[in-house]
Amino acid sequence: MLTFDFQRLRFNSFLKNNTRYVASFGRDVRAIQLLIETVRPDVVQVCGLLNIQAVLAAKRAGVSVVWQLLSTFSPPPLRFVYGQLVSRWARAVMSTGTLVAQKHYLSGSVLNRLFPFYPPVETSRFTSTTDKKRDARQFLGLPDNALVIGTVGNRNRQKSHDQWVRIARQVLACTDQDVYFVVVGAVTTSYQATYQTQVQGFVTENGLSDRIRFFESTIPVDTILSGFDVFFLSSMAEGVPTVLLEAMSVGMPVVSTDVGAIPEIIQNNKNGFLYRFGQNDRAAAHLLRLIEDAPLRRQMARTNAQDARDKFDTAICATVHKQAYDFACLPHPSPSPKTGEGLNHPASETNLRQYSPPLF
């Protein structure tokens, strides 16, 4: 494996962090181009909207680009500007769900080369067992019969754990059941001081340290998830987080913000609940409903486990990637509007049924 570190746009301390980005931009493009010309790949896959140095390097080296759009974290004006570059320069475009593609303002011609996909889940591994639940509860130090609402992921600004703990406080104030809230993940170094003050400090100040707990996991994620009863995501921006699909595979209902392509995955009253970012009262109401309704939790858990096997298994994700790579390698990438030139094309009727809602 060959690696190369290059600068990227940052939104924290914008001027300080991005001075290095501007200064090293040309050098990074040339270095990546040299790497491409040395390795001589058939396709260059670019992961993320802002990694434009790799796109320019691939174009200069004469290699097709598969550009992946993974999140809606970038501000809308930046998504609009870069979306036009994606439309113009990418031989094939992949997006985590169709809604993420919509939110990058792609031009209509991109429909002929858009391959929506969802993160891969090893569904045979992400299952819940009695042993896994026991191990998770022991690690978390929680009773076997408690109801645990949890989340897993890096603790950074995007995850909005400052709102997560406020919603948890609302819920705990409205129920007399034995409920715990758990956050598992490492704190991003640049966000550590803020997290300590705005998230963990809030919990301490409100006397909730026993009911809202924080961990850096040393046991497998599938084991951790097996210790939860409800998965709760409060992100301000996402594509489709892998851990949400892993939680579904383990078998639990989800309460989440309706960001990115998550509305393609979670449907109210079927396998979980969605709320708009900032609607904390609604999020708390959804969580309270799941706390009080055990049959609903079990029904949603069954639905999610089946959906994960049917839609999000690693093999399905690998198939879509291969389609995108094959398409990018075609000598004339724009297919005939009538035939799709024999390829199982992303804009075909079959694929649109697979990836609902419709693209645009």
The pLDDT tens digits along the chain (360 residues) read 667 677 666 655 555 667 877 888 899 999 999 999 999 999 999 999 988 999 999 999 999 999 999 998 889 999 999 999 999 999 999 999 999 999 999 877 788 899 999 999 999 999 999 999 999 999 999 999 999 999 999 999 999 999 999 999 999 999 999 999 999 999 998 889 999 999 999 999 999 999 999 999 889 999 999 999 999 999 999 999 999 999 999 999 999 999 999 999 999 999 999 999 999 999 999 999 999 999 999 999 999 999 999 999 999 999 999 999 999 999 864 443 333 333 344 433 334 334 333 332
Q: How many helices (H) and strands (E) does the chain have?
A: 14, 10
Pair (180, 278) in one structural domain: yes
The answer to whether residue 46 is domain-embedded is yes
Rounded distance between C-alpha atoms, residue 98 and residue 102, angstroms: 6
Measured N-to-C along each axis, helices 242-250 and 294-311 cross at an angle, to the nearest 10 degrees, of 120
The answer to whether residue 9 is domain-embedded is no
Pair (202, 259) in one structural domain: yes
The answer to whether residue 360 is domain-embedded is no
Pair (263, 190) in one structural domain: yes
Q: What's the Rg (C-alpha) of the chain?
A: 22
The answer to whether residue 166 is domain-embedded is yes
Pair (295, 189) in one structural domain: yes
| pLDDT for the residue 350 | 35
Pair (193, 300) in one structural domain: yes
The answer to whether residue 329 is domain-embedded is yes
The answer to whether residue 5 is domain-embedded is no
| pLDDT for the residue 4 | 67
Rounded distance between C-alpha atoms, residue 287 and residue 166, angstroms: 13
What is the identity of the amino acid at 101? A
Half-sphere exposure of 151 (CA within 13 A, CB side): 25
Provide the token pair at 79: 């998504």
CATH number for the domain spanning 236: value is: 3.40.50.2000
Pair (276, 142) in one structural domain: yes
Pair (271, 164) in one structural domain: yes
The answer to whether residue 95 is domain-embedded is yes
Pair (108, 143) in one structural domain: no
Domain that holds residue 215: 130-311
| pLDDT for the residue 255 | 98
Pair (64, 172) in one structural domain: no
Pair (155, 294) in one structural domain: yes
- Phi, psi dihedral angles at 67 (to 5 degrees): -105, 120
Beta bridge partners of 43: 64
The answer to whether residue 293 is domain-embedded is yes
Q: Record the pTM.
A: 0.84
Rounded distance between C-alpha atoms, residue 74 and residue 294, angstroms: 38
Pair (299, 333) in one structural domain: no
Provide the token pair at 36: 């491409």
What residue has token string 């959906």? Answer: 307
Pair (49, 71) in one structural domain: yes
Provide the token pair at 137: 């509860």
Residues 139 and 130 sit within 8 Å (Cβ to Cβ): no
Overall domain count for the chain: 2
